[in-house]
Amino acid sequence: MTNIRSIAKLAGVSVSTVSRVLNDHPYVKEEKRRKVLDAVERLNYIKNANAVHLSKGKTYSIGVILPYLNLPYFGEILQGIAGEALKHGYHLQLFQTNYDRGAELDAFHRLQMKEVDGLILTSRSNSLEVLAPFIGSNVVLCENVSEANYKKVFINHYQGIRSGVDYLHSKGHSRIGLCLHRTFGANSEERIRGFYDSSEAAIHPVCDDWIFNDCYDLQDGRDVLDAWERLGDRPTALIVTSDQVSAGMVAEAGKKSIRIPEDLAILSYDNHPLADALGITSFEVPIRKLGEEAFKLFLQEEHPDPVILDTKLFERGTV
């Protein structure tokens, strides 16, 4: 079996020299470095990564917990994390949960087993009480939680939705509905709170039938428009927390001769390129920046202040 002693013997150098070359130590004479690398190639040596990780106490791997891979929102977060991880020599391990609590806990058990150096939790299904025993300085949450000692980066969803409602009010709308991914979870709860607070402040009605849940993709958008059409008492505008859903609504409206925005105004979130292509008014949500900042927080040893990101409106033709 080839090991560093075999390499040292073939190269005619010490074992410590071989070790320094394999670990990219800068202070090795170029002649000796070439001899070692030539011996490595001739012996077809593959470095034992697990041994290196044990010696350094690091895997240079970070786990990313996310519910879905096929939604642009989580894809953008992942892009942000991956870009920063590459700069610092880390690779990613992905844990797709489909919001299954057991799958989420499995990722934290992997952290306990030191298979990864840390975790970034993009969206969770377990309560913080359940996860608390596992959360340390190597875990970053992508949501606003009250615990001061947790590393967290989040988009100001509360203010983002309030800005959306206020914008629709300025356009003359007082009957406004809301389309959400889900009604539970910190980010969703912040959006719902912002929606109700804005409506109450403006003394405008909110109807339970105008709140649509489980809205993730194009088909969900088509279904929402069908449901809206069947309502006897309809909102004149909908806030939609996903451009994918908004795109499905716009496409379905074209088939049904429903005029956007005359019959129904649509105000979307994410500002995905799809929104620009279809002329959908959308708030830009700095999702990739969220991922970038999450990885930067992971690298920090101390518990820094939370990172808060804001949204920005891009006006187009659906309002």
Instruction: Give the rounded percent of residues in the chain with a pLDDT score beyond 90.
Output: 71
pLDDT of 182 higher than 90:
no
Average pLDDT over residues 125-146: 94
What digits encode the pLDDT tens for the residues 189-248?
Answer: 999 999 999 988 888 888 999 999 999 999 999 999 999 999 999 999 999 999 999 999
Give the model's pLDDT for residue 205.
82
CA distance 182 to 80: 24
The overall average pLDDT reported for the chain is 91
Type of residue numbered 13: V
How far is CA 19 from its chain centroid? 39
Q: What is the pTM of this model?
A: 0.79
Structural contact between residues 213 and 242, judged by C-beta atoms closer than 8 angstroms:
no
More confident residue, 113 or 192: 192
